[in-house]
Structure 1
Amino acid sequence: MRSPSSVLRLIPTSASFADFCLPHPSCDECIQSHPICAWCKQLDFVQPGESDTGRCAPRLELEHRGCRPSEIVDPRGKQSILENRPLSNSTQHQTITQLAPQKIALQLRPGEEQSFIVRFKRAEGYPVDLYYLMDLSYSMKDDLENIKRLGSDLLAVLRNITTSAKIGFGSFIDKTVVPYVSTAPSKWQNPCPHLNENCQSPFSYQHVLPLTDNASEFESKVSQQRISGNLDDAEGGFDAIMQAAICKEQIGWREVTKLLVFTSDGAFHMAGDGKLGGAYMPNDGHCHLDVNGLYTKNHLYDYPSVGHLAEVLSEANIQPIFAVTGSRLPMYEELSKLIPKSVVGELKEDSSNVVQLIADAYNSLSSTVNLEHTSDLPPGISVAYDSHCGDSETYGRTEGGECFGVHINQLVSD
């Protein structure tokens, strides 16, 4: 197998370039007008009375017309690597380096492309945080009983991947106003259809357990959970995802691989649906959890839009795994197309396959390398990627470079 390699290209541009160098009256204007333009500063290069525009021309033309090379201003872009720590093979070291170089200084000239290689190596055993977000509406009753016993299994599958894994837990129903839930006193106390069942009052989202490496604590907290109920077919999962992503301190997110496992057998409400219950204000994307972990302002703010949710998850670098029942797969597969780095898996009716589903989804997520740049580039700068992935053919992308099927300790470059 050849070594994979590819190039990241930075292209500074002015408003527009002609196909050739045109005369300009000053050195600054000349140099910025076209990457082949140069300026002759030699005092006797133009005759008295002649315009200085003649000083602006391609280097070879200026030399041919008698301008000494030492008198020609023709700056070129430069680059220097300021930091280039070696890539890590595993996460056993205190400092984990998966991308190199780490810092580059560039001097750019308008219109002149600068290229450099960025290398990525997926290190073995990278730490993982997994937050389990569960739909506790009545139809998920059987699923809850299975999840109560899965703490050790969930950590075990994560520890097959890494030596540093943590799991947390949260749950959701829907907004706590009509028409999503019944506010009649009897139904509020016990929203489940059978009076002999011990169900908890409806709630929007509750953060139950911060991320921990203690499987017993996970099982203990989850075993205390009770099923609840709501009125309509759709749930308030988007509110829950937003709070779980935004409330970083409460959840305990680390700067590691972050997975949010979303399990449900229902549809989802989105922006605009909240108006039915009087939630007119757009979702503000802020954390609103009380001391008990409850989302307290669900009745004030609308559900987030798909775009808003995708933006927040991307900024937090959280990778969602939608584990949903078969009848809901098409819906969530369409949703996944709009949320970067997300995957969808089919959940059995009683969630008995959730551990294997998470393992498969993680392997799918972690085997994709996607190189991106921030959206706040300086004006006039564009970035393009030419990606080489193992034995695959080179291809270019205007927004980012992507390689699939990347194995542990495999080198990928852009």
Structure 2
Amino acid sequence: MNVGALAASVMLIVGLVTTENGEKDLEDGICKPKPTCRECILSNPSCAWCKKPNFTKVGEADSSRCATREQLLKRGCDTDQVMDPHSSHDILEDIPLSNNSDKTTVTQLAPQRILLKLRPGEWMNFTVRFKRAEGYPIDLYYLMDLSYSMKDDLENVKKLGNDLLAALKNVTNSVKIGFGSFVDKTVLPYVSTKKSKLLNPCPDRMEQCQPPFSFKHILALTSNATEFEIKVSEQNISGNLDSPEGGFDAIMQAAVCTDSIGWRNVTRLLVFTSDDTFHMAGDGKLGGIYLPSDGHCHLDENGNYEKSNVFDYPSVGHLANVLSASNIQPIFAVTGSILSTYQELSKMIPKSVVGELKEDSSNVIQLISEAYNDLSSTITLVHVQLPPGIQISYNSRCNDGFLAGQSWGECSNVKINELINFEVMVRAQASMCQQERQRFKVKVLGFSEELIVDVKMVCDCNCLDEEPFSRDCSGGNGNFSCGVCSCARNRLGKLCECEQAEHLDRDLDAGCRVEGSQLCSGKGRCECGKCVCNINVRGEHCECDDTSCERHDGLLCGGQGSCSCGNCICLANYTGSACGCSTDKSECTKDGVECNGHGLCECNRCNCDPGYFEKLCTKCPGCESGCQRYRNCAECLAFGTGLLRENCTLMCSNVNMTIVQEQEKSVMWCTEKSEDSLITFSIQETEGQVFIRVVAKQEIDDQTQNIVLGLVLGIVLIGLLVVIAYRITVEVYDRKEYARFEKERDNVQWNELNNPLFKSATTTVVNPKFSED
């Protein structure tokens, strides 16, 4: 079974609703300051609220009461003053599982009802148990294609009753079977509407067939095999025009006409037999039928689908939803030529299987038995009617292993009386707090039992300290709740300590500003002569902003420190203004050597010497030459210039330099260019030490400069000549080709004969009475 299609057709996709009141904080996993306890616990499951009176310091806003539990306790909040509600669940109904089906009521799924109390963003787990009861009853409805090509199959089906009941009674003593048939809609182009063909659609007029029909319910579910064989034996083959059949109409009516079919609240199997493909939604337009299938029962008193020519065929998705909601498990018994088509269809219909039917349906008993064993041994736990804003995930503890993080629970090869457990994990988002109590269901596909899950949101703190006109609020000038005063009208201040009219007096603002600065440093508001700072700002005059530090890699203090009043306080092993530099050198060192001896370790990264690269400065094209390798040391030691002049002593510690006035002929000398000078030196390496003799600095003379300049100008001139020559060659060639084209065009003799098929669009009419006098 394709469970990806199952998720599309049975389960409702989780809707992730993002709102402005804290959903983003929930996703970020960060506990940010919030002005109220409710907003605090809704913002993130890691957030808690301290309701302790006088918890905040001077200049701190009440929003700083929102932080993690550990942070609040560290700041002095008492354990019993921390509001940190969590998700929980209560089992409301849990009937024990049955071992067999001898009882009147069989229980295979437990518990049956549960109440979830969910805090937004926090996962809540509960366990669902399932055990297959022995001898669970079965209802089987046999739905047969009676188009002309199924003529041989009908003869075998007429003798099917006793054998089918006997095969199913090997599984359970309570079995009922029913029968229905289908052909196609009785309009063109599906069947011939010629009167004689409507009476007898057989291709041979000497043979008698019953008139075509869409779907006909023939026998309600019964345990009487003889009655099944009698009703089926009365059936005759029919016929239609096109190859696809109207099986989808038949499946829909068999599923929704519960009373007519006689479905019980037991295992429901629908055996669909055909030797051809099917019509689906949209095909009805070919016959002028455009109304979508309404999914209702439309059988007349004789069991015929009376609205066949009114409603279009159902879609695959519609059919899958109806079958799942009705707990009907389809078994598609089809011939080999169309087996692959129905296998693809089965992937989109939950709890369905496909079997290959022999041309005369002689193997149908074996096929049904194998399909039932396959269906009943696969247990699939899904959810239905999931409200928007709720996420759900499953862990399956099967006999052959543990499967985690599934979109549905599933175990295969489950035996009779074998207990399996599913762990269901549920999480709600803050948007759920805006709704009433919600409900969804958890069920095993193919079974009627359900677990009803009621969801109640934990969105409030329930501080239990609410006091109207509290003395803590300046003698009754406000209501006290969760450690915070809500001031009465015209009252201001953290404790409602002053009147609004009094606050308008400019003298009160003096305590909220430092001389020459803005009121509360521009990062808060002045109430009753005291600053009430914005979120993440503190201090008597809101002078400390704990979000204004430098960032590294997009993170405040590089994620390796905390921001305090605009300055980063780095963790151990980190330094720098944004804590972006690690003092560790493990990434720079190999075999005890730092940067391969050709660079410096800065922030746990090698800063390589000129010419060297790779992580540990291990590569340097051209550095094999000793002249190039020691050129910079020779320059900085002898003349104090060059790339290494700033750290010459460190980088050239093993080099001994001597200045000489002239070159000795018996020694190999290196001559390297540096800026406007030529450096000539010799190299001698002995036991890790390098001895360099440098000839006094030589300026590049004018003659040398003229030679170099001449070479450069010569190269440029040659390039220009090559380009000019190329353009002249192309121009000459193009002119010759054009002249040849003109000559050929002048020599062409055009055939100007009139086209005998041409007729002029102009008509000339002569007035017979016209005279040119």
Is it true that 1:155 corresponds to 2:179 in the alignment? no
Specify the alignment match of 1:380 in structure 2. 389
- Matching of residue 404 in structure 1 with residue 401 in structure 2: no
Aligned residue number for residue 114 of structure 2: 104
Residue deviations 1:223-270 (CA, integer Å, cap 9, x gap): 111111111111111111111111111111111111110001111111
Structure 2 letter corresponding to 1:360: E
Deviations 1:369-395 (A, max 9, x none): 000011333x42211001121032433
Q: Secondary structure at the match of 1:323?
A: strand
Aligned position for 2:458: none
Partner of 1:290: 300
Partner of 1:56: 66
**1:225 alignment partner, one of 211, 222, 235:** 235
Match of 2:398, SS state, is coil
Counterpart CA distance in 2 for 1:92 and 1:282 is 44
Contact in 1 for aligned 2:189/2:287 (Cα 8 Å): yes
* Alpha-carbon shift at residue 15 of structure 1 (Å): 2.5
Matched residue SS, 1:116: strand
CA offsets per residue over residues 293-313 of structure 1, 9 Å max, x none? 101111111111111111111
CA RMSD in angstroms comes to: 1.6
In structure 2, the partner of 1:368 is 378
Write the letter of the residue equivalent to 1:157.
A
1:130 to 2:143 alignment: no
Size of the aligned set, in residue pairs, is 402
Residue identity in the other structure for 1:402? E
- In 2, Cα distance between equivalents of 1:172 and 1:106: 47
Pairing 1:102-251 to 2, within 5 Å after superposition: 102-251=112-261
Alignment of 1:357 onto 2:360: no
- 1:90 is aligned, of 100, 118, 124, to 100
Matching residue of 2:697: none
Check whether the contact 1:370–1:401 (CA below 8 A) recurs between aligned residues.
Answer: yes
User: Given that residues 41 and 72 in structure 1 are in contact (C-alpha distance below 8 angstroms), is that contact kept between their aligned partners in structure 2?
Assistant: yes
Shift of 1:48: 6.4
Cα deviations across residues 209-228 of structure 1 (Å, max 9, x unaligned)? Answer: 11111111111111111111
Q: For residue 47 of structure 1, report the CA deviation from its aligned partner.
A: 4.3
Name the CA distance, whole Å, in 1 between partners of 2:88 and 2:118: 7
Distance 2:262 2:62 in 1: 65
Q: Which runs of 5+ in 2 are unaligned?
A: 1-13, 423-773
Structure-1 separation of matches of 2:331 and 2:41: 51
Query: Which amino acid is the alignment partner of residue 351 of structure 1?
Result: S
Q: Cα distance, 1:367 vs. partner?
A: 0.7
Give the match for residue 4 of structure 1.
none
More relative contact order in 1 or in 2 (CA 8 Å, sep 6+)? 1
1:253-272 matches, within 5 Å, as 253-272=263-282
Q: Residue 285 of structure 2: SS of its match in structure 1?
A: helix
Residues in 1 aligned to 2:403 and 2:185: alpha-carbon distance in whole angstroms:
49
CA distance in 1, matches of 2:287, 2:389: 46
Q: Corresponding residue for 1:341?
A: 351
- 2:53 paired residue number: 43
Q: Distance in 1 between matches of 2:79 and 2:398?
A: 43
CA contact under 8 A between 1:278 and 1:300: conserved in structure 2?
no
1:319 — aligned with what?
329
Shift of 1:365: 0.5
Task: Name the SS for the 1:31 alignment partner.
Answer: helix
Could you say what secondary structure the match of 2:64 adopts? Answer: helix
Distance 1:230 1:212 in 2: 30
Partner Cα separation in structure 2 for residue 367 and residue 245 of structure 1: 23
Q: For residue 118 of structure 1, give the secondary structure of its aligned residue in structure 2.
A: strand
Residue 353 (structure 1) shift: 0.8
Q: Alignment partner of 1:245: what SS?
A: helix
CA deviation map 1:47-92 (0-9, x unaligned): 4664111111111221222212222211111222222222111111
After superposing on structure 2, the runs of 4+ consecutive aligned residues of structure 1 that deviate more than 6 Å are none
Mapped to 2, the partners of 1:158 and 1:411 lie a distance apart of: 23
- Contact in 1 for aligned 2:23/2:43 (Cα 8 Å): no
Q: Percent identity between the aligned chains?
A: 64
Q: CA deviation at 1:186?
A: 1.2
**Aligned equivalents of 2:212 and 2:30: distance in 1?**
70
Q: Distance in 1 between matches of 2:114 and 2:202?
A: 60
Alpha-carbon separation, structure 1, partners of 2:29 and 2:325: 40
Q: Helix, strand or coil: the match of 2:23?
A: coil
Residue type at the aligned position of 1:307: G
Q: Measure the CA separation in 1 of the matches of 2:162 and 2:99.
A: 28
**Pick from 372, 392, 400: which aligns with 2:401?**
392
Note if 1:32 corresponds to 2:42: yes
CA contact (8 A) 2:190 2:242 kept: yes
- Point out the more displaced range, 193-202 or 280-289: 193-202
Kindly indicate whether the alpha-carbon contact (under 8 Å) linking 2:395 and 2:402 is maintained by their aligned counterparts in 1.
no
- Could you tell me which residue of structure 2 aligns to residue 6 of structure 1? none
Cα distance in 1 for residues equivalent to 2:398 and 2:381: 12
Give the structure-1-normalised TM-score: 0.94
The structure with the larger Rg is 2
TM-score of the aligned structures, taking structure 2 as reference length: 0.51
* 1:119 match: secondary structure: strand
